[in-house]
Structures are given as C-alpha cells and as structure tokens.
Chains A and B, each alone.
Chain A
C-alpha cells in the first residue's frame, strides 16, 4: 500500500488542500484523496508535489507491506 506524508508536509508549509492543489495543477479533491491513501498519484504529480513540498519523492511516498 502506498503511504505518504503529504498532509504532514502540507501543514508544515501552511497550505490548504486547495492551495497545494492549485500549485500542483489539480483539484482540492485530488489532494484529499491522496492524503487519505485512496488514490496513488502519477509519477508526474508525485514529482510536482515533492518539488512544491521541498522534499524527495521517496520521502513523500513509500510502499508499505510485507510483499515489498
């Protein structure tokens, strides 16, 4: 399962979901679904989010589970 720290890092930058979505070129709903782990973003969107939140992609997203 894909885990993420989007919510945590977004709070650090004091962005709302809407603001982060606007910067990344997606809707607020997309950020909400990513934070809840209901949706795995594309590589492009992952890179955009990592760039905006000033971290590496693997610090923002990682796989969790025994099969990995």
Chain B
C-alpha cells in the first residue's frame, strides 16, 4: 500500500513546489525589462551566469518530473481502470475514497490540513500586513504553506499505512 501512487502523490506535489520555488527565486531576483506602449510590447528577463545555469538545469528537471509523473499516472490508471485518476479533475488526486476505511483516513488527514490553514492563513495575512514584504516573500509564504499542507497530509496517511502493514 505504501507504493500506492496516491500515497506518494503528495511527495510529487512537494517536489513540484520546490522546483517552482527555485524558479520563483531566480525570476524575482533577475533584472526584468517590461515595455508596453502604443507601438510595442516586450518582456525580457536577464539572468546572471549562476542563475542562468540553475535555470538551465531546473527546467529539464521539471520536464523529467512531469514525464515520470505522467508515466506513473498512466500505469496506475491501467492497473485501476475502474477508478482512474486525472490531474485535470477538480478533486485532488491524493484523496483515497475507495471504501470506508480510506474515507476515514482521508477525512482525518484533510481535517488536519484544514486546521493548519485555519491558523496559518490569518497569521500569514498578519505577517504580510505588519512587515514590509516583497513579491518573493509572498511567493515563499504560499509555497511554504503548500509544502506544509502536503507534508501534513502525507505523514497522516502514511502513519495509517504503516500501522496497517505492521
């Protein structure tokens, strides 16, 4: 069960969050040139050598992750034709509602995530209200909240899976 794609899916989300974070840090730190007048429109980003190198590496990493995730999703759907998953659905993939016990596990994990957001969102708003923030800090905050959300979900689901395996 630990190898169930849906148990591992939050880890993929965390991986994508990390990649997004690196890209956000580089882009917000780069020199940008934005032109929008009557005759022209352009937007350019100028990166230093180090940042350019990191972007040069991180974009293939991102593409490889997308390809591996697509393969895993396709494999899961072939093995489970009656409960196919789609990344384009409105329901998060990590929900495991095959039957009653998994509904319970999902509900418990989701409740903890909800509790986390109930507290973290007002504190985040207060933080940005009181402390002068940059675009980057707001993005880091959003990524950190998402990161924590998936960690809470994964840890709670995995705990039940571990107990079940023992």
A25 at the interface (CB under 8 A from B): yes
- A1 contact set on B, CB distance < 8 A: none
Q: Inside 8 A of A39's CB, which chain B residues have their CB?
A: 100-101, 104
> Is B1 located at the chain interface by the 8 A CB criterion?
yes
Check: B79 CB closer than 8 A to any chain A CB: no
Residues in B lying within 8 Å of A, measured CB to CB: 1, 98-102, 104, 164
Complex Cα distance, B164 from A26, in Å, reads 15
| Chain A positions within 8 Å of B104 at CB level | 33, 39
Bound Cα distance from A58 to B99, whole angstroms: 22
CA distance A32 to B163 in the complex (A): 10
> Could you tell me the distance between the alpha carbons of A25 and B99 in the complex, rounded to whole angstroms?
8
Confirm or deny: A27 has a beta carbon within 8 angstroms of a beta carbon on chain B.
yes
| B interface footprint on A16-28 (CB within 8 Å = 1, 0 otherwise) | 0000000001110
**A24, closest chain B residue (CB):** B99
Q: Inside 8 A of A42's CB, which chain B residues have their CB?
A: 100
Q: How far is the CA of A41 from the CA of B100 in the complex (A)?
A: 7
> Which residue in chain B gives the minimum CB-CB distance to A25?
B99
What are the residues of chain B within 8 A of A25 when measuring CB–CB? 99
State which residues 15-53 of A face B: CB under 8 Å: 25-27, 29-30, 32-34, 39, 41-42, 45
Report the bound CA distance from A26 to B99 in whole Å. 6
Q: In the complex, A34→B101 CA distance in Å?
A: 8
List of A residues within 8 angstroms of B98 by Cβ: 26-27
Please, which residue of chain A has its CB at the minimum distance from the CB of B161?
A: A29
CB distance from B165 to the nearest CB of A (A): 10
Please give me the residue from chain B that is nearest to A27 by CB atom. B99
In chain A, what residue has the closest Cβ to B101?
A30
Q: Which residues of A contact B100 (CB under 8 A)?
A: 26, 30, 39, 41-42, 45
Cα-based distance from A30 to B164 in the complex (angstroms)? 10
Q: How far is the CB of A27 from chain B (nearest CB, A)?
A: 5
Residue of B nearest to A30 (CB): B101
